[in-house]
Structure 1
Amino acid sequence: MTTVGERLVQGLAARGVEVVFGIPGVHTIELYRGLAQGLVRHVTPRHEQGAGFMADGYARVTGRPGVAFVITGPGLTNTLTAMAQARADSIPMLVISGVNRRASLGRGLGLLHELPDQAAMVRALCPTETLTDPAQLGPALDRAFAAMLTGRPGPAHLEIPTDVMGLPCPDLPPPAVLPPPPTATPQTLAEAAALLARAQRPVILIGGGARFAEEETRALAEALDAPVIQTANARGLMHGHPLTVPASPSLEATRDLIRAADAILALGTELGPTDYDMYVNHRLPDLSGMIRVDLCARQLARHPARLTIQAEARSFAAALLPLLSPRHAQGAERAATARKAARAELATLHPAMPEQLAMVEAIRDAAPGSLIVGDSTQPVYAANLFYDHDRPRGWFNAATGYGALGYGPGAAIGAAIAAPGTPVTCLIGDGGLGFDPAELRVAVDEGLPVTFVVWNNAAFREIAEAMTAAQTPVIGCSPSPFDMSHLAAACGLPFARVPQDPKALAAALRAPCDGPRLIEVQAR
């Protein structure tokens, strides 16, 4: 007899899943029977929220869904924060949980891990399905993968009652072929090309939806001779290129570039306030004349535009290129002016920002081609405003969109598993580390090359400064930090402590290390 749990793992493997992140419990034992087949690797986090963040980091690097196994009730509620972060950033994540036996659902019997309506709780966030019939496992997986990968990516949830997991399950049919993403019509391509051909000062805005379109984005920018402004989730796509503007659209220097444009092409960006108006000053230039390209029809309807095109960024750029004639629009000069002004603007926002940015650049330069996974901490905020990473998809964090603290360690571990042998740096504050410090030990268990750089200012400094600016008493912003040397020792991590100095940090990062380690930066 082959059970639902065993068939589930077979079905995941057939859909390209190589790793699941999960914490076993009495309500998921039968799912783990399936993992014993060895078709899919299992990684054990220390908290279900960490499982979700690991799945998120894995998906951001690979482009494939990250998968988490969690128990009924608290296991799933612990994962909801990670699912919400994935939804905000359009990251495909499949969470498979248990749920109590079928006959008990909705009856309020007081069973272990019982919720009034577990599926209803998740449904407010993402698609969910309860598997009550083993014969429906294959179709349920097809629906979950379609929900994650058709249109705007995001999380999906499948719950399996405890009395279904161990039932006999027939062979699964082959995975359904996903429909191709929508593409631009010849008419809309021609209209976009005509609008751009008339422009003398075009500008391109790119977001996370273009993060796998590095070659096409570069070719399109060069054909249009257009500066390319990148949101935080698109950084690294055009590292060092004369047309790159790796700066937030919230900066006035970047907005000046947009304001002066006579054509704006927006690719795969939701135009969210945490990228485009993080200081809530409502001075973003009028974008209603833009050409907007996005996978999601709902997203396209949220902002006025001259031309909206439902398409995937990579395919759109590739289809548009043959319709364009190379020209000179002084793009490199305009981009250089914007870059210089944007970087200088950091000091006007906060006098410490240039030094914080220099620390991030020291990490990049000490480990070229590495992945930097950030949490919500001051140097990450500075770099989200202006920073040019040296590889596509190599810079991401949770400091935009949903903004979950404690994201960094789990996501960095997921990223390291997704890119074997690639150095990964987790940049996190002492406050964020307090949310999920136990995940550091997972990096030791898995032998991952993750360097945890802890920005220790012994406070929720950003919040304290915001309270001061609002003339509010600063309360609750000084929780005592870990003794980082003792934490590192408890986790079995090599440890170094450095001052807030780029050269000192770079030297510590260049020191030989075969596995994970912890470096504390004594922030000023």
Structure 2
Amino acid sequence: MSGAVSGGEAVVRALAEHGVDTVFGIPGTHNLEIYRHLPAYRVRHVLTRHEQGAGYAADGYARACGRPGVVLVTSGPATLNAAAAIGQAYSDSIPVLLISPGMPLRSTPGAGLLHETRDQSRAMDSVAAYSHRVTSVAGIPVALARAFAVLTSGRARPVHLEIPLDVLVERSVVISPGPVAVPVTVPPDDMIAAAAQVLGAARAPLMIVGGGARWAAPQVRMVAERLGAAVVTTANGKGVLPDDHPLALGAGMHLPAVAEIARRAGAVLVVGSELAPSDLWHGPLEFTGPVVRVDADPAQLVTNAVPDVALAGDAAATLDRLLALLDPVPGRGAAAEVAAAEVARWRAIKDGQAMAEGGRWRWIVRALAEGVGRGGIVAGDSAMICYYGALTGLPAYGPSRFLHPTGYGTLGYGLPAAMGAAVALPGRAVAALMGDGGVMFTIAELAAAAQLGLALPVVVVDNGGYGEIRAEMVSRQDPVQAVELPSPDFVMLARSLGAYGVRAGDEESLTAAVKEALAADRPTLVHVRETPLANVEETP
């Protein structure tokens, strides 16, 4: 059939039409018809060592650059291996596309085909925004266009596409709809005017900024300055307002100072945040002033806190419209100085609480911050060093500088996410920050990073086990069990995987190790025990 393409080529052609130039994954028997066409369409493939690692790498890629991350795996166990990463992307609203083969359309269920899964698409539908099983070659470009429309509009969520094996090899003439032009949504003018009136009349307003404002950083800053508002962020909103801005309170929504600031605020503007328990930890915030919420997801506007004014729309576009209606503050210079002084007072109180909680890790955080520099990115894990130490102690001077698996709380995220960020932004200083328990979930990705030649510091903070769970057992007065992890020789383990390995035992040696790792020709695992070690020791 003249002009006909296989299902596999239709997949790759559609990806290229949507601007995809990089995919993460692992080839397998059932997805080779897709792989064969990647070079012809100049789509780079990044080989990981596990499908979960591929999913986390695509997540880190998407967070770092804002483009959807694409994962290509084979059927059955490979697809299910990626499920945890898709669940994490769903929880944190990250645009990740997972493509996998499925059992043939014309097969008998239960026949015992290789990788046969009873209902693979239904399994993935439970963790993604949706899962779609394509039934024809002609349907592939349409399915991809629909997926990218979901990935790039409103609240980003991951999508899974399943292509049956027989559809992958069949040939057909296809008509591609191409990328769908996605309109930017803004609330009605009367709703924006109502929000401007509430906020403009408020004394000592507060802004709560989440991951939904990641790409609206200039608008967040301008609105904060116009209102003279203190700005506190969630983990995923960390750095949207640079931490050294006079109005920045930084991250750490769970700290008592934030609850008190929220209670006292004359009005609260929430931008792109769920106000989720996974950020607040100790219960919902109490608002005594009016609340304005901005969110791309209309359903989220009334979840966890009902606002006085609900603005459903794109964060950047909505804040632009809001800014146009906010009158400049009379005597702006003097008012700004007063606001900044008050924010500095609360910032000192909040920082004191953060030190009481995570001071034992602060030297590690300082060293890492010095090592990666002002523009650096740190991909963290669900580890004590991250949510007690780096969340509040690591300065962030722009959005997507701290990548953290917040809502789902998966272990093993940091290393492959850092890989994805480094692939997305070549030349940017990127580091991973892991615990000794979590790093073992995805340690094999160190070999993938070595094969890529990434200058990637992987800082592993070793407390000899699952420290958070150990502490919870102690606090419950339970028997302490199943949480002790005798550490491997991390330096030798790194070397065996093709990376460098060093040990660091103080702030000076850790800073030096991170800086040296960023200039290396491959990744470097930096092993740090929570008790002092000897000076940095490099492997030959």
For Structure 1 versus Structure 2, the TM-score category normalised by the shorter chain is: over 0.9
1:492-511 to 2 correspondences below 5 Å: 492-499=498-505, 501-511=506-516
Task: Tell me the equivalent position of 2:37.
Answer: 34
Residue 307 of structure 2 is aligned to residue 271 of structure 1 = no
Residue 335 of structure 2 is aligned to residue 334 of structure 1 = no
Out of 95, 100, 107, which is 2:98 matched to? 95
Task: Tell me the equivalent position of 1:364.
Answer: 369
1:319-468 to 2 correspondences below 5 Å: 319-327=321-329, 328=335, 330-349=338-357, 353-368=358-373, 369-382=375-388, 383-398=390-405, 400-468=406-474
Amino acid aligned to 1:113: H
Task: Tell me the equivalent position of 1:162.
Answer: 165
Question: Are the equivalent residues in 2 in contact too, given 1:181–1:295 (CA < 8 A)?
Answer: no
Question: Are the equivalent residues in 2 in contact too, given 1:247–1:387 (CA < 8 A)?
Answer: no
Supply the distance in 1 between the matched residues of 2:367 and 2:225 (Cα, whole angstroms): 29
What are the ranges of 5 or more consecutive residues in structure 1 without an aligned counterpart? Answer: none
Supply the distance in 2 between the matched residues of 1:32 and 1:324 (Cα, whole angstroms): 53
Moved more, 76-85 or 243-252: 243-252
Supply the distance in 1 between the matched residues of 2:429 and 2:521 (Cα, whole angstroms): 10
Residue 272 of structure 2 is aligned to residue 259 of structure 1 = no
CA offsets, 1:249-298, max 9 Å, x none? 2111111111110100000001111112x1x3x36223783100100011
Supply the distance in 1 between the matched residues of 2:464 and 2:520 (Cα, whole angstroms): 27
Question: Are the equivalent residues in 1 in contact too, given 2:198–2:290 (CA < 8 A)?
Answer: no
1:98-117 to 2 correspondences below 5 Å: 98-104=101-107, 107-117=109-119
Task: Tell me the equivalent position of 1:296.
Answer: 297
Q: Please give the secondary structure, in 2, of the residue aligned with 1:291.
A: strand
The alignment yields a C-alpha RMSD, in angstroms, of 1.6
Task: Tell me the equivalent position of 1:44.
Answer: 47
- Per the TM alignment, residue 521 of structure 1 is displaced from its structure 2 partner at its CA by 0.7
Percent identity among equivalent residues?
38
Supply the distance in 2 between the matched residues of 1:160 and 1:472 (Cα, whole angstroms): 48
Q: Please give the secondary structure, in 2, of the residue aligned with 1:495.
A: strand
Supply the distance in 1 between the matched residues of 2:421 and 2:200 (Cα, whole angstroms): 40
Out of 247, 253, 256, which is 1:249 matched to? 253
Task: Tell me the equivalent position of 2:8.
Answer: 5
Supply the distance in 2 between the matched residues of 1:37 and 1:218 (Cα, whole angstroms): 44
Moved more, 221-230 or 283-292: 283-292
How many residues align? The count is 515
- Per the TM alignment, residue 38 of structure 1 is displaced from its structure 2 partner at its CA by 4.3
Supply the distance in 2 between the matched residues of 1:207 and 1:360 (Cα, whole angstroms): 22
Residue 203 of structure 2 is aligned to residue 197 of structure 1 = no
Supply the distance in 1 between the matched residues of 2:30 and 2:289 (Cα, whole angstroms): 51
Question: Are the equivalent residues in 2 in contact too, given 1:248–1:384 (CA < 8 A)?
Answer: yes
Task: Tell me the equivalent position of 1:221.
Answer: 224
Supply the distance in 2 between the matched residues of 1:7 and 1:103 (Cα, whole angstroms): 20
Task: Tell me the equivalent position of 2:56.
Answer: 53
- Per the TM alignment, residue 503 of structure 1 is displaced from its structure 2 partner at its CA by 2.2
Q: Please give the secondary structure, in 2, of the residue aligned with 1:449.
A: coil
- Per the TM alignment, residue 8 of structure 1 is displaced from its structure 2 partner at its CA by 1.1
TM-score (norm 2): 0.92
1:70-149 to 2 correspondences below 5 Å: 70-104=73-107, 107-126=109-128, 127-149=130-152
Q: Please give the secondary structure, in 2, of the residue aligned with 1:426.
A: strand
Supply the distance in 2 between the matched residues of 1:163 and 1:288 (Cα, whole angstroms): 60
- Per the TM alignment, residue 331 of structure 1 is displaced from its structure 2 partner at its CA by 2.1
Supply the distance in 2 between the matched residues of 1:185 and 1:41 (Cα, whole angstroms): 42
Q: Please give the secondary structure, in 1, of the residue aligned with 2:527.
A: strand
Moved more, 362-371 or 252-261: 362-371
Supply the distance in 2 between the matched residues of 1:242 and 1:462 (Cα, whole angstroms): 34
Supply the distance in 1 between the matched residues of 2:7 and 2:163 (Cα, whole angstroms): 9
Amino acid aligned to 1:519: V
Amino acid aligned to 1:520: H
Task: Tell me the equivalent position of 2:534.
Answer: none
Q: Please give the secondary structure, in 2, of the residue aligned with 1:37.
A: helix
- Per the TM alignment, residue 301 of structure 1 is displaced from its structure 2 partner at its CA by 2.6
Amino acid aligned to 1:309: L
Supply the distance in 1 between the matched residues of 2:59 and 2:190 (Cα, whole angstroms): 37
Question: Are the equivalent residues in 2 in contact too, given 1:421–1:449 (CA < 8 A)?
Answer: no
Supply the distance in 2 between the matched residues of 1:388 and 1:259 (Cα, whole angstroms): 26
Supply the distance in 1 between the matched residues of 2:55 and 2:295 (Cα, whole angstroms): 26
Task: Tell me the equivalent position of 1:491.
Answer: 497
Q: Please give the secondary structure, in 1, of the residue aligned with 2:251.
A: coil
Moved more, 194-203 or 386-395: 386-395
Amino acid aligned to 1:510: K
Moved more, 136-145 or 169-178: 169-178
- Per the TM alignment, residue 391 of structure 1 is displaced from its structure 2 partner at its CA by 2.8
Amino acid aligned to 2:301: L
- Give the 3 Å change call, closer, same or farther, for CA 98–379 of structure 1 in structure 2: same
Supply the distance in 2 between the matched residues of 1:492 and 1:358 (Cα, whole angstroms): 29
Question: Are the equivalent residues in 2 in contact too, given 1:377–1:455 (CA < 8 A)?
Answer: no
Task: Tell me the equivalent position of 2:536.
Answer: none
Question: Are the equivalent residues in 2 in contact too, given 1:7–1:34 (CA < 8 A)?
Answer: no
Q: Please give the secondary structure, in 1, of the residue aligned with 2:503.
A: strand
Moved more, 374-383 or 430-439: 374-383
Question: Are the equivalent residues in 2 in contact too, given 1:444–1:491 (CA < 8 A)?
Answer: yes
Supply the distance in 2 between the matched residues of 1:414 and 1:46 (Cα, whole angstroms): 13
Amino acid aligned to 2:287: D
Q: Please give the secondary structure, in 1, of the residue aligned with 2:229.
A: coil
Residue 521 of structure 2 is aligned to residue 514 of structure 1 = yes
CA offsets, 1:45-73, max 9 Å, x none? 00000110011001001111100111111
- Per the TM alignment, residue 26 of structure 1 is displaced from its structure 2 partner at its CA by 0.7
CA offsets, 1:204-239, max 9 Å, x none? 000000011111111111011101101111111222
Task: Tell me the equivalent position of 2:538.
Answer: none
What are the ranges of 5 or more consecutive residues in structure 2 without an aligned counterpart? Answer: 330-334, 532-540
- Per the TM alignment, residue 464 of structure 1 is displaced from its structure 2 partner at its CA by 0.5
Supply the distance in 2 between the matched residues of 1:29 and 1:243 (Cα, whole angstroms): 53
- Per the TM alignment, residue 372 of structure 1 is displaced from its structure 2 partner at its CA by 0.3
